[in-house]
Structure 1
């Protein structure tokens, strides 16, 4: 199974630049990150340090978010944020550059929350324009822009797979074909989507899968979601990408489920 460790939500007891090596020590060869910098255009020094941490650890960077704003404060993306469009577009070249140097081809563009000072129509029009610009920006390195339904944030308008797919259809109508659904099974389940139906209808077109169990957004096996079944069915229907581990767990026990899984498969 090709798992990739989200080092922005896991191994957080360690400084960010030490997490790729910790993921490698835990037995994983791939990592993904939310945007790891304070602004859209970080210094060359900061970018070089991040890239060096990945390469020194001997892991593959499989996914990277565009700048999504201040996530701890509740921001969930700049894509539809009127007034901050230049920050998003300035970020595109930086993201593509990191992707090109590290061989990463999947880039998550969080849509952004609804704003009091803008209409939904204005935000949605801006979002399509920004997603198209991002898609064109990463196309030169064979990249894909990911669009994700998210739970836990009422102001975030993309709740279901269909919400995201409707936006993706607009980007296709605008002339790009490299914006894909990020199917985070946890978010979809929490928002009430029928994950099994989403898989049946769209697995072959998923841009990426991420997992966490529910309740609690914990490690696989700590909740009630049939994550193993959903992953297996997605594979059967044509999804052949990584499975992103994007859950909350203390470092000491974050991967005990995977160790048990490996032991069982080797027995």
Structure 2
């Protein structure tokens, strides 16, 4: 690839032939110095021993944990986040403390908050109001570390309401607006606004029909993290038809200096699915 952006490996989709705690070391063995994970536990507030074991797996492998998802519910069962789920608001807020605690131990600067599916029993407006509150709370907690909460359009989830970059940016704008209003009410115009940014997963955006080139042209300055997979199939770059090289080059040309998360399903063995990226460019 022509761009010089740095990569981080999503170990919730890659190296899945290994137990979760062995994946950071496998990423290091494959030449990478940075990893990211979806929520790696089965509950929002796992036992301390499980958290300690996860932290140790990262540090012992000698890799940086660059990103971590908040607890998103039963992902295999179809859940896509608790941010806008009223009955589970307490669970999400308890999870914020755990996520930020892990981040403080490992120097993690990106936390992905999946918005949550639409619910039959709750008005969309109520869900959206709750989401603004929860995202502001999470972002304030992350800001104490100098970290950013990420909001992501997602494909393949019929009831997930954020499909395009514009959908996610509209939510971020609502959080920023309410934070700004609250700061003015408190007569504290210097108060920091919540640290929120767009997670631009180029695969999800393309599959949902968004104009990825236009998103890059108009909103690179608002993109806090990038993830990639090819389409169709969500495989490694080169397994499909997406112009990922050109898109990443355009992002870099527009000033993006962040990481590119490799969040794809290997079409062959995990080792072989990195063949598109020369070993010397993985660190």
Deviates further, 107-116 or 243-252 = 243-252
Correspondence for 1:16: 20
- Counterparts of residues 1-267 of structure 1 (less than 5 Å): 1-175=5-179, 176-249=193-266, 250-259=269-278
Q: Which runs of 5 or more residues in structure 2 are unaligned?
A: 180-192
Residue deviations 1:122-166, cap 9 Å, x none? 100110000000001111111100000000011000000000000
Q: Counterpart of 1:180 in 2: which secondary structure?
A: strand
Q: Counterpart of 1:53 in 2: which secondary structure?
A: helix
In 1, Cα distance between equivalents of 2:156 and 2:278: 30
Correspondence for 2:183: none
Offset, 1:260: 7.6
Offset, 1:257: 1.1
Indicate if the aligned counterparts of 1:2 and 1:242 stay in contact, CA closer than 8 A: yes
Q: Counterpart of 2:158 in 1: which secondary structure?
A: coil
Correspondence for 2:182: none
Offset, 1:254: 2.1
Residue deviations 1:25-84, cap 9 Å, x none? 001000000000111111110000000000000000000000001111111000001100
Which TM-score applies when normalising by structure 2? 0.91
In 2, Cα distance between equivalents of 1:166 and 1:251: 37
In 2, Cα distance between equivalents of 1:35 and 1:206: 21
Q: Which runs of 5 or more residues in structure 1 are unaligned?
A: none
In 1, Cα distance between equivalents of 2:254 and 2:275: 28
Q: Which runs of 4+ in 1 moved over 4 A?
A: 260-263
In 1, Cα distance between equivalents of 2:121 and 2:55: 38
Q: Counterpart of 1:174 in 2: which secondary structure?
A: helix
Residue deviations 1:199-257, cap 9 Å, x none? 00011221100000001000001111111111111111111110000000032422111
